[in-house]
A = this chain, B = another copy of it.
Amino acid sequence: MPDAQEVLSANREFYRAFAERDLEAMHTLWAREAPVACIHPGWNALAGRRPVLESWGSIFLSPEPPTIRCHLPRAYLLGEVAFVICYEVLERGSLTATNTFARERGAWKMVHHQAGPAGALPSEQMPEPPGVVH
């Protein structure tokens, strides 16, 4: 599978784990060797694997965890690192998100997630510059 498809597949796995509150899959998905971070909307940055995974645990256990749908993911490849930009469609409004992955022992692992308020959702018709893969 070409790199872009592998990265987009890892991105889909992130949103599947989020939707199904699958904390074990989150533990598998996030990198173990590379330094990791996570910026939830309106939060300060969480640095390191333990605080990041604990944050997902507390989000999954919250009384009303958000339901979320990934829209228009686009992969930006930088060799052994890649980031995916996508929109997260929630019940109320949407977020713009970047998910960064690094190849670790052959598999694409998450090293960073940041989401923040988006504008109006863009459509499929947006032109893509060279090097951006969907």
How many copies of this protein are present in the complex? 2
1/0 per residue A81-125: CB within 8 Å of B?
Answer: 101010100000000101010100000000110111111111000
Q: Is the pair A80, B79 in contact by a Cβ cutoff of 8 Å?
A: yes
Q: Is the pair B76, A37 in contact by a Cβ cutoff of 8 Å?
A: yes
Q: State A45–B99 Cα separation when bound (angstroms).
A: 13
Closest to A36 in B: B76
Residue of A42, A44, A78, A118 contacting most chain B CB atoms (<10 Å): A78
Q: B78, B96, B129: which contacts A44 (Cβ < 8 A)?
A: B96
Q: Is the pair B85, A128 in contact by a Cβ cutoff of 8 Å?
A: no
List, in ascending order, chain B residues with CB within 8 A of A34's CB.
Answer: 76, 78, 131
